[in-house]
Amino acid sequence: QVQLQESGPGLVKPSQTLSLSCTVSGGSITAGNFWSWIRQPPGKGLEWMGAIAMTGSTYYNPTLKSRTSISRDTSKNQFSLQLSSVTPEDTAVYYCARLRRVYVSNIAARLPDDYWGQGTQVTVSA
């Protein structure tokens, strides 16, 4: 059973960079699938932010691409998210997930064979 766990600060100041990590157990991030970051702002749907594939190739939501960077540390079986120049509109629950595909923007629903972390609340506030 693949398990994912997000970690990082819960409070970030405006204009700073949000940094989160995802630790994966029960599966290797180099073995396949798309290791992804998704967020859900209050009262809104799931927004796919981007992913890193087993090859190390990265894919990003076009609306966030200029501010987003996803990387990995294969020795720790972890992958990470950096979102720069944050504003209060970036306040959301952030999820890491193992997905079978990449998306362009919103995710309508979780698919049965995808694995998600429990999510971590990140608030952007001075």
Sheet holding 18-25, edge to edge: 3-7, 18-25, 78-83, 68-73
Number of H helices, E strands in the chain: 0, 12
Mean pLDDT of all residues in 43-66:
96
For the cut 90, the answer to whether the pLDDT of residue 94 exceeds it is: yes
The model's confidence at residue 82, banded by pLDDT at 50, 70 and 90, is very high
Query: What pLDDT is recorded for position 32?
Result: 83
Bridge partners of 11, per DSSP, are 123
CA 44 to mean position of chain CA atoms: 16
pLDDT (0 to 100) of residue 60: 97
